[in-house]
């Protein structure tokens, strides 16, 4: 529904708690410390399009209760069960930081648009596993290696079952290249093709 620079994330108290452009692992750790381990993307009509980035109709998502919508921030807060005055204060503070081009609270770097044009939207977010960061160690031929670094004959791996390809954090989209590249290498290695 939105780009990173067009939203703020608030907890169930209607308060920002993290810089929204933090690394994924930092962002998730911050969400886990919030009440209910959930947060809400808050944005407004100026950035909403008919379909979100997953080609889902936004109004259908509102009807299904997956996105919340209101003509006022107070109405949005009521739907989310949070104090309206907190959400209104948080958005007002954020808008002042946009004007000043400086996030004095968390040091966010990516932001340039106020949240001020009704209707307002909230999208719930919670951490989930969508890519594992550990697994079998492989070599450059996609052969699984033992604890001494020796290839295990006939055992190849690619994708999420492997570990160490991305380090401790993965950039969005990189898993696709990992799977395609090492999948191809594993297949060629298994078939003895150079």
Question: Looking at residues 52-68, what average pLDDT do you find?
Answer: 82
24 catalytically annotated: yes
| CATH number of residue 52's parent domain | 3.90.700.10
For residues 28 and 60, state if they share a domain. Answer: yes
Give tens-digit pLDDT for 147-191. 999 999 999 999 878 876 666 666 666 677 778 888 999 999 999
Report which of 15, 134, 157, 136 is spatially closest to residue 80, judged by C-alpha positions.
15
- Residue 22 sits in which domain range? 4-125
Helix (H) or strand (E) holding 16: none
Question: Which is the catalytic residue, given 24, 66, 108, 170?
Answer: 24
Q: How many domains does the chain have?
A: 2
For residues 93 and 175, state if they share a domain. Answer: no
H helix count then E strand count, the chain: 5, 6
pTM of the model: 0.73
Cis peptide before 119 (omega within 30 of 0): yes
């Amino acid at each position: 529904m939105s780009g990173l620079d067009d939203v703020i994330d608030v907890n169930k108290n209607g308060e920002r708690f993290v810089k929204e452009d933090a690394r994924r692992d930092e962002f998730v750790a911050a969400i886990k410390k919030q009440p209910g381990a959930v947060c809400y993307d808050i944005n407004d009509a100026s950035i909403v399009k008919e379909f979100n980035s997953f080609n889902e109709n936004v109004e259908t998502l509102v009807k299904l209760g997956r996105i919340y919508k209101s003509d006022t921030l107070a109405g949005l807060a009521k739907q989310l069960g949070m104090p309206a005055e907190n959400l209104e204060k948080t958005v007002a503070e954020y808008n002042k930081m946009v004007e000043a081009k400086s996030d004095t609270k968390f040091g966010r770097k990516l932001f340039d648009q106020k949240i001020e044009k009704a209707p307002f939207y909230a999208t719930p977010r919670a951490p989930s596993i969508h890519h594992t960061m550990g697994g079998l160690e492989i070599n450059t031929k996609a052969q699984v290696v033992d604890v001494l670094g020796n290839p295990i004959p006939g055992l190849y791996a690619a994708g999420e079952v492997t570990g160490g390809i991305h380090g401790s954090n993965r950039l969005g989209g990189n898993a696709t290249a990992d799977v395609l590249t090492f999948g191809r290498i594993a297949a060629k290695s298994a078939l003895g093709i150079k």
